[in-house]
Structure 1
Amino acid sequence: MFEAVIFDLDGTLAETEESHRLAFNRAFADFGLDWEWDVPLYRRLLKVTGGKERIAHFVALTGGVADAEFVARLHKAKTDIYTEAVARGGAPLRPGIGEFIAAARARGLSLAIATTTSMPNIEALFGATLGPNWREIFPIVGAGDMVERKKPAPDVYELVLRELGIAPEQCVAVEDSRNGVLAARAAGLPVVAVRSTYSSDDDLSGALVELPDCRGLDLALLERVAPR
């Protein structure tokens, strides 16, 4: 019997990526940049994990050289825009997630987060969707700014596993993207993958189960796929 479920955040627990995309574009406009990330472009840019890394990658694609200080200021502005939008309820939990979390807690499972996004984004989303006491639900959070390497490297999962104090085979990871599946598998975790809007065409091979959405998540499914 597994003891913990470790969730990715963006795309997995909530369809946040469109809110991120709009926040990037507004930040670009506020900085006087003529950049516009449309949906097809943003889908491609999501292959690069981490907001600052994504900006730097885009600059390189346009033939420029990213200045780290400028990228950091631009990303902070984007984060402020995003967190304000999410705090107003702009990114609800995906259908099925609330019920699954409640069932997992009733079973006594530990719940944790392993994400590449930053802590302000996590706090904004969970404050709006789970309330001010969300840390009682997710006491252990691994964020992208806590590790040296972001997904598909396993660093954030390894961090969370250390905090949980349990072995990878005692957990199940829930992810929505290729990079997320690779990260969890590299850390030794079995993975259940849930498709999301921006990862609809991702190669999720390596996951033990692929679901079209989060409404298929239930404890019986995880018990069937978890190592014994």
Structure 2
Amino acid sequence: MSELAALIWDVDGTLADTERDGHRVAFNNAFSQAGLDWHWDVELYGQLLKVTGGKERIRYYLDEFNTAWERPANLDRFVAELHRQKSEFFVSLMEEGRIPPRPGVIRLIQEAADAGIRLAIATTTTPANVDALLNRFFGPQGDHPFELIAAGDVVPAKKPAPDIYRWALEKMQLSPDDCAAIEDSRNGLLAAQSAGITTVVVTVNGYTDNEIFTDASLIVDQLGEPESPLQVLGGAESHATMVDLGLLRRLHALS
């Protein structure tokens, strides 16, 4: 195994708890604006999260939970416009500062950047959503340390397909053996593993804490801060209190 050279991050649920109080709220705002009587409550949204990608999630909702709704002649255009409106609402929520980073996220990103570890994002969310989040966390002048943002529809197949990770690895000219991934869901874990990345840390949230994370390097409830240690839920390093660069290097050496 080569030395750890890059750290690839998921966004939603990993960098921040964006799903329940961000994307779900933005979807409902978009539905209301479009004159639809749809409402995704917390429980329903948890079921919809089985599918990655916002446009794909709308279609899944129609296929499985709202089959009686009369579809427009051009469903693709309708879904795309509805998703565009939803993304605008989400950006507004981020700009209002209503969604903070998860514990340990900024600390670990800065530690890795200071050590010369290359940083990238691999996500199914749209580039506008990623930009809004990074602008809020790192400032609006592009001061974030991420070398590459692989997001949205740059690949046709969303997680758990490995395409977004493979695209990022190709653009950065990296081998999977050079990298570790930070994810929050089973779909994300499967995507990273299918791309050949064997060092994957899973930081669960309220929507994913009951999922199965077979062969994850480490499963934690958060990345941890000095005053707020993490809880190890599975994997190696059972006595860890924070996910830091030293721990990632040890996990990478074992994978």
TM-score bucket of the superposed structures, by smaller chain? over 0.9
In the other structure, the counterpart of 1:40 is 43
Quick one: percent identity of the two aligned structures? 43
Q: Quick one: distance in 2 between partners of 1:105 and 1:146?
A: 25
Alignment of 1:83-102 (within 5 A): 83-102=91-110
In the other structure, the counterpart of 1:207 is 216
Q: 1:97-144: per-residue Cα shift (whole Å, max 9, x none)? A: 111111111111000000000000001111111112445501201002
Q: Quick one: distance in 2 between partners of 1:107 and 1:86?
A: 29
For 2:88, which of 63, 80, 98 is the aligned residue? 80
- Does 1:195 find its partner at 2:197? no
Q: Is the 8 A contact 1:191 1:209 kept in 2?
A: yes
Q: Which runs of 5+ in 2 are unaligned?
A: 225-241
Q: Which has the higher contact order (CA 8 A, sep 6+)?
A: 1
Q: How many residues align?
A: 228
Alignment of 1:47-196 (within 5 A): 47-61=50-64, 62-63=66-67, 64=69, 65=71, 67-134=75-142, 136-189=144-197, 190-196=199-205
Q: Is the 8 A contact 2:119 2:147 kept in 1?
A: yes
In the other structure, the counterpart of 1:24 is 27
Q: CA deviation at 1:219?
A: 1.0
Q: Secondary structure at the match of 2:207?
A: helix
Scaled by the length of structure 1, the TM-score of the pair is 0.96
RMSD, aligned α-carbons? 1.4
Q: Quick one: distance in 2 between partners of 1:126 and 1:157?
A: 20
Q: Quick one: distance in 1 between partners of 2:215 and 2:188?
A: 10
Q: Secondary structure at the match of 1:70?
A: helix
Q: Quick one: distance in 2 between partners of 1:107 and 1:143?
A: 25
Q: Quick one: distance in 1 between partners of 2:108 and 2:186?
A: 23
In the other structure, the counterpart of 1:225 is 251
Q: CA deviation at 1:165?
A: 0.9
Q: Quick one: distance in 2 between partners of 1:91 and 1:83?
A: 11
Bigger Rg, which one? 2
